[in-house]
Structure 1
């Protein structure tokens, strides 16, 4: 009886995880199902810098794969994934204020209220600098636009 209950529990968990996959693929900034271009989400908080994770230290959360620089960071993520996942599915926070899903430079980031925000920084345009000039207005706009996006 215990075995049957365990099988049912594992099946339910696997089914719930697979149901998250279409959401993740639709609303997350992924390359081959990998978030943040392979950068470790925990390092932004613990080292205050962007560090490339290692493929062999990875974890899939809701169909989104994250790489980590070490097992300690992976363990921290496993304990509280929501704390470390980037806001707006890993898209540029500045562009999100206009409801746009724009790619990011994983090395251009900001931690605000213990949340990770990523930004576009290519070809003479660093949106983090633009964000910093008007963060108090842009942050609430980004939240509203992201809520609209994930409803679809």
Structure 2
């Protein structure tokens, strides 16, 4: 009997360790990548591309003075930003985050999707990057979180 109880306790603790290891260290959050991919297809792909390729000439301002939607693949600059910044832009929109009269077509999605849903989108995007970009972005995020 004692062995069965000990075995069950080990299984529970092992399962908890897997759950915590899968999270990002912030309250046990575990990304739902399928949900992130679905939301990306629904809300982001029309501007940023089904393959994260962005709009053509995304570095050149259009007639309205605004920049086209950038790619979210390794050719863009998404991976240069910390998670906190990416989530803030996704929730509030680029103009709200940049301020100083900056104009952008990127809306905020914080009233349409929950923070967890938008984090899922960002986590899914990261899975599409090569290892070098994922590692760089993780380092930028870690530095941002520690204030360095």
The reply to whether TM is greater than 0.5 is no
Q: Is the helix fraction higher in 1 or 2?
A: 2
Larger radius of gyration: 2
Higher relative contact order (CA 8 A, sep 6+): 2
Structure having the larger proportion of residues in strand: 1
* TM-score normalized with structure 2 length: 0.29
